């Protein structure tokens, strides 16, 4: 019997934002594998289904276990927060299967990413071209990260930062802020969202000049606007350009 792996995006945390197809895949799974905090988020879904949990930075272990279970003919579900293809588990599983091909069916079920969740709470900051950079140097060299930040800032992109700072990792965020100030005005608008759509949610609008001093952590998404980004009625908006081509006034001729 051929087993399968469903790599599932759980969304930003609240079950209100879990996609119906993802919920169905969880209910149909024979075993669910994931980081223990993510499994706790879905403890009310298919509670009779066995769970296998592990801690932070055990991604390879979790992927390997899901592949083992599928190799035994089981329907395994491997969960990620947000979207599994954005800093999630999807790429790792596909890489590992490419190294050791197996007769396993794999499906990737998308979820609402952290950047989508944060942007919706801030307003509409991603209406034009944007770049996404993780400031975690656990897997990516810091020099590469900072070079990407510089190129994005020079290119005038709105920039979304994942993993801005941890208890033991402060340098990447501080240096990224320094780079941004070299290419962007200090008054550039930025948005900071902690724990989007969860009980401890916090949403703030700040200026780029104040960003480095903020208390941000791994559960925080930071979105830095570009030169066109505005704060309109308390909402962070990066115009797409409609105002240059159309009359946006509500008055009719």
21: domain CATH number? 3.40.1010.10
Q: Is there a single domain that holds both residue 124 and residue 74?
A: no
Q: Residue 46 and residue 27: Cα distance in Å, rounded? A: 5
Q: Is there a single domain that holds both residue 100 and residue 152?
A: no
Q: Is there a single domain that holds both residue 101 and residue 121?
A: no
Q: What pLDDT is recorded for position 214?
A: 93
Please state, in angstroms and as integers, the Cα–Cα distance from residue 221 to each residue in 88, 127, 155, 233, 245, following that order. Answer: 15, 17, 21, 21, 32
Q: What pLDDT is recorded for position 13?
A: 85
Q: Is there a single domain that holds both residue 181 and residue 223?
A: yes
Burial 47-62 (b: 16+ CB within 10 A, else e): eebebbeeeeeebeeb
Q: Is there a single domain that holds both residue 134 and residue 207?
A: yes
Residue 232: CATH number of its domain: 3.30.950.10
Q: What pLDDT is recorded for position 57?
A: 86
Q: What pLDDT is recorded for position 245?
A: 80
Q: Is there a single domain that holds both residue 147 and residue 206?
A: yes
Among 72, 87, 112, identify where a domain stops: 112
Strands (E), the chain: 4-9, 31-35, 51-54, 75-80, 105-109, 123-124, 130-134, 158-162, 189-194, 202-207, 220-224, 230-232, 235-237
Q: 228, 125 in Cβ contact below 8 A?
A: no
Q: What pLDDT is recorded for position 188?
A: 98
Q: Residue 54 and residue 36: Cα distance in Å, rounded? A: 6
199 assigned to some structural domain: yes
Could you tell me the pTM of the whole model? 0.92
Among 83, 112, 141, identify where a domain stops: 112
Domain range for 148 is 115-237
Q: Is there a single domain that holds both residue 182 and residue 206?
A: yes
* Mean pLDDT by groups of 10 residues along the chain of 253 residues: 93 93 98 96 96 92 97 97 96 94 93 97 98 96 98 98 92 97 98 95 97 94 98 96 80 58
Residue showing tokens 């350009």: 241
Q: Is there a single domain that holds both residue 130 and residue 107?
A: no
Q: Is there a single domain that holds both residue 172 and residue 85?
A: no
Q: What pLDDT is recorded for position 251?
A: 64
Q: Residue 240 and residue 32: Cα distance in Å, rounded? A: 41
69 assigned to some structural domain: yes
Q: Is there a single domain that holds both residue 156 and residue 228?
A: yes
Among 95, 112, 129, identify where a domain stops: 112
Q: Is there a single domain that holds both residue 63 and residue 120?
A: no
248 assigned to some structural domain: no
Q: Is there a single domain that holds both residue 119 and residue 27?
A: no
The domain tally of the chain equals 2
């Amino acid at each position: 019997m051929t087993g399968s792996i469903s790599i599932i995006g759980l969304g930003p945390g609240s079950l209100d934002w879990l996609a119906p197809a993802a919920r169905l895949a969880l209910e149909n799974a024979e075993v669910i594998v994931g980081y223990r905090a993510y499994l706790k988020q879905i403890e009310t879904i298919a509670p009779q289904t066995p769970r296998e949990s592990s801690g932070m930075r055990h991604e390879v272990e979790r992927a390997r276990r899901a592949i083992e279970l599928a190799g035994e003919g089981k329907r395994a579900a491997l969960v990620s927060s947000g979207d599994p293809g954005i800093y999630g588990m999807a790429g790792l599983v596909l890489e590992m299967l490419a190294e050791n091909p197996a007769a396993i069916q794999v499906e990737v079920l998308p979820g609402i990413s952290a950047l989508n969740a944060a942007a919706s709470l801030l307003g509409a900051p991603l209406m034009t071209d944007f770049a996404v950079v993780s400031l975690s140097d656990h897997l990516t060299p810091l020099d590469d990260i900072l070079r990407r930040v510089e190129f994005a800032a020079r290119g005038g992109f709105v920039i979304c930062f994942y993993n801005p700072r941890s208890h033991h990792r402060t340098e990447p965020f501080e240096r990224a802020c320094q780079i941004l100030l070299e290419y962007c005005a200090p008054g550039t608008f930025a948005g900071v969202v902690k724990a989007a759509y969860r009980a401890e949610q916090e949403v703030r609008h700040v200026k780029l000049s104040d960003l480095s001093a903020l208390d941000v952590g791994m559960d925080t998404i930071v979105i830095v606007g570009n030169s066109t980004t505005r704060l309109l009625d308390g909402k962070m908006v990066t115009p797409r350009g409609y105002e240059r081509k159309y009359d946006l006034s509500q008055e009719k001729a």
